[in-house]
Structure 1
Amino acid sequence: MTAFIAQTAPRYMAANVATLRWMLERPRFHGIYLNTKLNPLTLEDYGAADGWRGPDWTYGWIQGRGLESLATHAAAFTETDPALTTALDDAGRALYGALDKLQGRDGHGYFRYGPDMQPVCGPDDGPLAQQVRGGDVFTYSDAFFAKGLICGAARYDPAELPRHLAALGRVIDAIGDDRFQMAEKVPLAPATAAAEPADFGPRMILLGAAGMLRRLRLAEATTYADGFIAHVLSHHLDRGTGLLRNVPGQDDCNVGHAIEFVGFALDHLGKNGDPQTLKALERILVASFDHGFAGPGIRLTVSARTGQPVSPFCPWWSLPETIRSAALAFEATRSTEALRIWQAADARFWDVYWRDDPPVAYQCLTPDGPVDYVPATPCLDPGYHTGLSLLAAARAAERISSVPTQ
């Protein structure tokens, strides 16, 4: 155990350094926006002929996540790699300014922007139209913009933090008021948002801001987080299996999202969380991993009724999220089950998914091998799912290793 944990932090941090340097060396869209668009199988850059995957389309999801990654990693490497911190800050400061201007148009960020940086909507393989302005409807893109802009403001523009915290608050309020729309490829509308199923995804993503806020010494803005955890445990937890149902009463379980929820909850609560809550979170982690870990990685969907995977797809992101969640769970409980999962996810990610040149993971595998399947956007990870998860796990490993053995 001790040997495994001791070697994880330097390995995780070295991988993040390599990925961040690779990303920073790539030409940016419009000279500002992060460019991680390349075919996950051939590793060739997408071109104009690749349509919605090509360079003409900028994804707000990815840019908001990327800003959170840039600012967070810049702080992390201040002492150990000041040159990298400087490069990250140069990119982060420019991206902060650009996203702040985009959001400043109407108070929203959008999933997909066209060549003129106007928001568009429509199916990936069909005609695109101008996206409806968000108004009182908020989305995942709003969440990722808000998180990224808070990280950016904390580092580059502290006087504007109250404005960005208020924007985050509006996204949080929209969830409770049924004004959060998950489907961003269709026109935004209050009726569409209100009619969507009560998936735990929005609460999970916004819960991810709580640990971030605490590290930025903004814990006073996390008062919503305990309620989000309680809501998910009360409404989505299948008591018989320990799985989280995407929607209460429905069968599908996105076990990767359940594991991500556990990580965000533990990041917020820390090892001093309520024992019963910590126990419930660990049960979700174990059930989600054990039911979903089949084939090359963690399946996208599992049936609550049968406990069996119902999707062949194993996207990369659920493994680093598992590494984070298991590391935080082990730190909190010293559970052998959490350590087992940490070790298993670590081994599978590095042995099967990771590619050293360039330092990125296969985007998706099935039992038949790598596939050209885009989980959400054609951009590879800008140091978010992989980078921030590995950073959190590395910090947990360092804290665990610093505690004297009893």
Structure 2
Amino acid sequence: MQTHLAPEYQNTADGQAAEAILRKCVHCGFCTATCPTYQLLGDELDGPRGRIYLMKQVLEGQEPTRATQMHLDRCLTCRNCESTCPSGVDYGHLVDIGRKLVDAKVPRPAGEKALRWALKEGLPSPLFGPAMKLGQLVRPLLPQALKNKVPVPQDAGAWPARTHARKALMLAGCVQPAMSPNINSATARVLDAAGIQPVVAPAAGCCGAVKFHLNDQDGGKAQMRANIDAWWPYVEQGVDTLVMNASGCGATVKDYGHILRDDPVYAEKAARISALTKDLSELLPELVPVLKPRLQLGADTPALVFHPPCTLQHGQKLKGGVETHMAALGFAVRVAANEAHLCCGSAGTYSVLNPEISYQLRDRKLGHLAPAAHEVIISANIGCISHLQSGTETAVRHWVEVLDAALTSTG
């Protein structure tokens, strides 16, 4: 795609990066076929190709409008288009740049601005945990829209106390410990059973995705640098794996090297952290032979329906691993026959900012998952899990919780 940057964007890092991405686009439109918002809305400007044209216009000097901002806001950043694109267009990084440039020129209404501020400051805050506990206490009294965001309280179980020669860093995360604490403790118990000691750096916090994708990119980068500082002593001590059990966090941490590539202090460390980062499912090939003899799966073991998060299959390009290795462990697991590649509508804070589209996608996804009475839905990201659970009576769990339960039941 031929592009002529406006003078204000020439010789800027954002302008040059965006131009390089735009020049890969060949207008083919394959991306529209796999874009969730285009499928729902049928508007070219609510598909990747249309949004690319909008961002190109802004970069070439055309003034953006509220309509421009709205079409970019409606993007889930699911990156399905990247998996479909035959030309390798790096749409995810492009839309980060586009939103930043548009928001710099298009003021948001006060209410919208306040909501976005509350999300980016509230979700990573230490106060989120106490607020969630309070919400859970009064959950039966909450209106449905709020109840959807407040899961029932969950017992995390015990954290393993054994030590092992091999150690792996874990990111506790910001919302996950408050909303689904068992995911982290289940991960720790499964690693412990495989002879790997889970280690959490106390000073590590939010991965930075919440702020970064709400266009507080400086705030997001500050959180990324703080995490690198928290993890670096462990890296220097020889820890060679940073395990992520939330695929949204994993996709972001794997991107630290790109996001901080121009930082003279952190660029090299960020690249190293990204290289060490693995989704928990990437450890399954080595965990299966160790754990399988310890599992005794029986008639009461639920059958599983797997929803692969976008951040896993499109963001991290990890497809097939969870269902393949869970099946190798002896679980009955299937993936929806239709639209397994499409977003469930969670997409970080999207379900709060664009609830109508988000819930349409949730219900569409649940329809395709079509869980039977004896099945449990599994996924690999806290956002997907809580979002899907708000629309079904079927249990929705992280796959590691199911594996941990099978290990715990056999001692």
TM-score range normalised by the length of the shorter chain = 0.3 to 0.5
Larger gyration radius, structure 1 or structure 2: 2
Q: TM-score, normalised by structure 2?
A: 0.36
TM-score normalised by structure 1 residue count: 0.36
> Which structure would you say has the larger RCO, counting Cα contacts within 8 Å and 6 or more residues apart?
1
